[in-house]
């Protein structure tokens, strides 16, 4: 159960994958400052049956939720890739993450990779190194979290926390990345309305 006296929101970000499922938890206060709570990777052996691998991912996510008591869960949305097997594994891990969140009674959302990159770096096509560098800077870390799945999980958590607050925060209080995201959303809404 989450702590109602906590001054910040605690978000669990999940970068789904069968072999490596990144999990990262951040506390984000009212000024949208992020603090690292936990980061890690749930690993499963590639030669194990698919059911065992999914059960392992579920158990790892449950353990993180029980230990750190997040307020919400954010999962990277599956997107089309050329490798169909990779997409299937990612989709299965994503479904498990959303199921575990629902079992725990936590609100859950999904965000596309470009949404996450835009929220964290201000640029929706940023590469992995740029995301990792920004995560280290935002969370005041000495070095980017490794492997990349761990940094991605933290980026997903920050994206969720910042997107939730961006709509209601005064413009002057947004970070540069949040302002870029807010501007991109406005442009997209205008474009959609113009085409309707």
Find the CATH number of the domain harbouring 109.
3.30.420.10
Average pLDDT, the chain: 85
From the candidates 15, 71, 115, 152, which is the catalytic residue? 15
127 is catalytic: no
Q: Kindly list the distances between the CA atom of residue 150 and the CA atoms of 12, 38, 47, 153, in Å, as whole numbers in the listed order.
A: 12, 10, 22, 5
**118 found inside a domain:** yes
Residue 73 resides in a domain: yes
Instruction: Kindly state whether residue 147 falls inside one of the protein's structural domains.
Output: yes
pLDDT tier at 170, thresholds 50, 70, 90? very low
CB-hemisphere CA count at 13 Å for 175? 21
Looking at the 3D structure of the chain, how many domains does it have?
Answer: 1
The string of pLDDT tens digits covering residues 100-142 is 999 999 999 999 998 999 888 888 888 888 899 999 999 999 9
**45 lies in some domain:** yes
- pLDDT at residue number 122: 83
pTM to 2 decimal places: 0.81
27, 76, 115, 152: the active-site residue: 76
CA dihedral 143, 144, 145, 151 (to 10 degrees): 160
- Residue 168 is predicted with a pLDDT of 46
Domain that holds residue 59: 9-195
Give the closest residue to 76 by CA, choosing from 18, 14, 127: 14
pLDDT level of residue 165 (50, 70, 90 thresholds): low
List binding-site positions: 15, 76, 149
Q: Which residues lie below 8 Å from residue 94, measured CB to CB, with a gap of 6+?
A: 14, 16, 75, 76, 77, 78, 110
For residue 41, the cross-strand partners are: 22
Active site residue 152: no
Torsion of Cα atoms, 36 then 106 then 160 then 146, to 10° = 40
Task: Give the E-state strand segments of 85-183 in sequence order.
Answer: 108-111
**What are the binding residues for Mg(2+)?**
15, 76, 149
Whether 2 is in a domain gets the answer no
55-88 residue pLDDT tens: 999 999 999 999 999 999 999 998 765 567 778 8
In a domain, 168, yes or no: yes
* Assigned domain for 4 exists: no
**Is 97 a member of any domain?**
yes
Q: Is 76 a catalytic residue?
A: yes
């Amino acid at each position: 159960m989450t702590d109602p006296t906590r001054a910040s929101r605690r978000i669990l970000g999940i970068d789904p994958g069968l072999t490596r499922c990144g999990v990262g938890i951040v506390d984000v206060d009212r000024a949208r400052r992020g603090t690292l709570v936990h980061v890690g990777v749930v690993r499963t052996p590639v030669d194990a049956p698919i059911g065992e691998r999914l059960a392992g991912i579920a158990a790892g996510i449950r353990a993180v939720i029980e230990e750190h008591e997040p307020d919400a869960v954010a999962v990277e949305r599956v997107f089309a890739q050329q490798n169909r097997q990779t997409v299937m594994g990612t989709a299965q891990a994503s479904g498990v993450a959303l199921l575990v969140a629902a079992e725990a009674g936590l609100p859950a959302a999904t965000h596309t990779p470009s949404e996450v990159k835009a929220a964290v770096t201000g640029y929706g096509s940023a590469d992995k190194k740029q995301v990792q560098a920004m995560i280290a800077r935002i969370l005041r870390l000495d070095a980017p979290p490794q492997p990349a799945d761990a940094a991605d999980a933290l980026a997903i958590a920050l994206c969720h926390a910042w997107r939730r607050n961006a709509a209601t925060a005064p413009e002057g209080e947004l970070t540069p990345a949040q302002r870029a995201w807010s501007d991109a959303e406005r442009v997209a809404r205008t474009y959609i309305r113009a085409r309707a």
